[in-house]
Structure 1
């Protein structure tokens, strides 16, 4: 894998990672190596997988609502995603994450 950092544009809601800012709307700009992008992609894939499991759990009437490991897994993975975006992001990304209070919540959980 190549170790030089390249710009990427991230859309958190749908887990999109693009090298082109004009292809679709994006939330955050980061500078990342290929390995870092692969790791971020894995986090997005984990959220998707947990979301699907949560969908099926929500439609199983005999399971109690508070038995919600899937949502806990999504929350934990989202913290990793935002932490990684904060570490790799440009100043605008960092400022947005700070003003939303996301990084303080992530650091409290560590």
Structure 2
């Protein structure tokens, strides 16, 4: 796919929403993506949701520490993948903001 196949989308990481209309919902980041990119980003959001559910249940086990839990590692890795993809597809302002967060380091 080439640059001409890309469309503008607006992404809210917290809710996992990706919209072609910036007025449809609040958004944090603006990206230009192909249909295939949007499908991949949605899969990453789903992966993150599954990991978040696991961490919810882990939180109810008082003796298991955050840094010693596979579920938390999976969640953190999924979030990094999401931000990496948004960074790669993002507008200059989006890339700068994500870089300033230090999440990709």
TM-score > 0.5 by shorter chain: yes
Corresponding residue for residue 50 of structure 2: 49
Give the deviation of 1:56 after TM superposition. 1.2
Whether 2:84 is the aligned partner of 1:89: answer no
- The count of residues paired between Structure 1 and Structure 2 equals 101
What TM-score do you get using the length of structure 1 for normalisation? 0.84
Tell me, in whole angstroms, the C-alpha distance in 1 between the residues paired with 2:60 and 2:99. Answer: 36
Correspondence list, 1:25-104, <5 A? 25-61=26-62, 64-65=64-65, 66-103=67-104
What residue ranges of structure 1 are gaps of 5+ in the alignment? 106-110
4+ runs deviating over 6 angstroms: none
Which is further off, 13-22 or 66-75?
Answer: 66-75
What TM-score do you get using the length of structure 2 for normalisation? 0.87
Q: Aligned-residue CA RMSD in angstroms?
A: 1.6
Tell me, in whole angstroms, the C-alpha distance in 1 between the residues paired with 2:97 and 2:68. Answer: 33
What residue ranges of structure 2 are gaps of 5+ in the alignment? none
Tell me, in whole angstroms, the C-alpha distance in 1 between the residues paired with 2:72 and 2:15. Answer: 16
Tell me, in whole angstroms, the C-alpha distance in 1 between the residues paired with 2:70 and 2:92. Answer: 34
